[in-house]
Amino acid sequence: MKIKPAQPFTFEGENDHAILLLHGFTGSSSDVRMLGRFLQKHGYTSHAPMFPGHGVPPEQLMETSWQDWWGAVEEGYQHLVDLGYEKIIVCGLSLGGLLSLKVGYTFDVRGVIPMCAPIMQQGMNDRLYDGVRQYARQYKQFEKKDEETIEDEMDEFETLPISTLHSIDELILVVREHLHEIKQPTLVIQAGKDELVPPENADVIYDEVQAEPKTKELYEDAPHIITLWKNKERVHERILSFIKEIEAR
């Protein structure tokens, strides 16, 4: 069975601020769709691009790099500019959070909201590879393939080069070097039960950005995909209040 891939979305509001929403590694725009609808309900336009290699067979993911994903971010930012928005805030989850930090020192955005963003390399490749293998297996199960076919394809999958994971390492190094250039208001959000990105990553981001003001929020019981957490409304409300604080400046 062929899986219909998730698509980019734009939810338009009547406010003069727009939010660029960035999904996570192996994820899709669905990661941030409910957040986008919440923001639209409160008058804010949001746009979420899809990163190359995501929402498609996992073998295609392993052919992409951070430069490909960054290209989608640039296009997403330009999409909001083309719609007439000059006041843009960026908010990203996991890999999207890492990319949101790059947006913060690259473009003239009004605020930056990284969620569960990796900025430390220790053990990251092993955790990412475990996650990729799990994603690949689940994708094949969603395709309704039989177990023998899945096992054969997983054996092949595990022979693929892991340059994609090394690319994330490279992106972490690139962004870490520039954290001090982020001056805009920054809200660092972190899950306490994050199985992929230890909370210490949020401490590093908070300490090294030169933002004014900057805030760090730890949600003790939340998992890595905090946007799909059972208490995600708490995160939504905090993001909304941060956006309103920026509006009032």
Q: Over the stretch 25-47, which tens digit does the pLDDT of each residue have?
A: 999 999 999 999 999 999 999 99
CA distance 68 to 64: 6
* Predicted TM-score of the model (pTM): 0.93
Nearest residue to 52 via CA among 164, 172, 158, 159: 164
Instruction: Tell me what pLDDT residue 3 has.
Output: 63
What would be the CATH architecture of the domain defined by 9-247?
3-Layer(aba) Sandwich (3.40)
Just list the catalytic residues: 94, 194, 224
Instruction: Tell me what pLDDT residue 20 has.
Output: 98
Encoding tokens for residue 175? 């962004």
Instruction: Tell me what pLDDT residue 145 has.
Output: 87
Instruction: Tell me what pLDDT residue 56 has.
Output: 87
* DSSP classification of residue 139: H
**Cβ neighbour number for residue 46 with a 10 Å cutoff:** 25
Q: Where are the domains of the chain?
A: 9-247
Rounded alpha-carbon distances, angstroms, from residue 135 to 49, 129, 130, 146, 235: 20, 10, 9, 16, 25
Low-confidence ranges of the chain (pLDDT < 50): none
Instruction: Tell me what pLDDT residue 96 has.
Output: 98
CB neighbour list of residue 169: distance below 8 Å, 6 or more residues apart: 121, 124, 125
